[in-house]
Amino acid sequence: MKKIVIASNNPGKLREFQAMLAPLGIDVLTQEQLGISEAEEPHCTFIENALAKARHVSKESGLPSLADDSGICVAALGGAPGVYSARYAGDKPKSDTGNNEKLLRDMQGVADRRAHYYCVLVLVQHAEDPQPLIAEGEWYGEIAQEERGDGGFGYDPLFWLPQLGKMSSELTADEKHVLSHRGKALKILLQRLNMDAG
């Protein structure tokens, strides 16, 4: 597998995938580079959305496709924002700032701050692949009272890591690749492909 198309237009996700896959000699393309539209994400589970995105991009490109569906799940909110993490605030275009502001409002006065990031990766060799490779990763922390740090993207400025005493947004890119839900899921996926992510 020399070429793979990432089924995402999220620049933060694309940077992470390119950094993690580059050492393996895989040519990482994006759906935007190939003029492929975003797939619909109508499902209520991460795995169904990821599979829909991977099949859509593989069908349009004729190449293997890797799709990620991920988000943050907050215990006190019954798992929300969940699959709606990217569009939690309802802003168009999608806005990290709007999503973070809404999450802070929803968590105002809430004592239970537990949360986790969840990621499912789906790799299809072709659009009709009957055996997609699927890998999952989770990353546990808490929702902070206010934003801090200028790294990462999404909810990273609010994702507090008690064991490290810092926000996700304060980690280096290499630290995040090792610890994050996406990094864990990609490591599992590459092991299933008999590749070593290092």
- The residue extents of the domains of the chain are 3-192
User: At residue 68, does pLDDT exceed 80?
Assistant: yes
**Model confidence pLDDT, tens digit, residues 35-63:** 999 888 889 999 999 999 999 999 999 99
Q: What is the pLDDT of residue 195?
A: 57
Q: Is position 69 annotated as part of the catalytic site?
A: yes
What residues does 166 pair with on adjacent strands? Answer: 161
Residue 196 CB: number of other CB atoms within 10 A? 10
Query: Of the residues 68, 69, 96, 156, which is catalytic?
Result: 69
Provide the CATH number for the domain formed by 3-192 in this structure: 3.90.950.10
Task: For the full predicted model, state whether its pTM sits above 0.85.
Answer: yes
* 155-186 burial: b if 16+ Cβ within 10 Å, else e: bbbbbbbeeeeebbbbbeeeebbebbbbbbbb
| Residue 143 β-bridge partners | 159
Measuring CA to CA, how many Å separate 79 from each of 69, 76, 118, 190?
Answer: 15, 7, 11, 28
**Banded model confidence at residue 100, pLDDT cuts 50, 70, 90:** very high
Q: What is the pLDDT of residue 196?
A: 46
Provide the mean pLDDT of the chain: 91
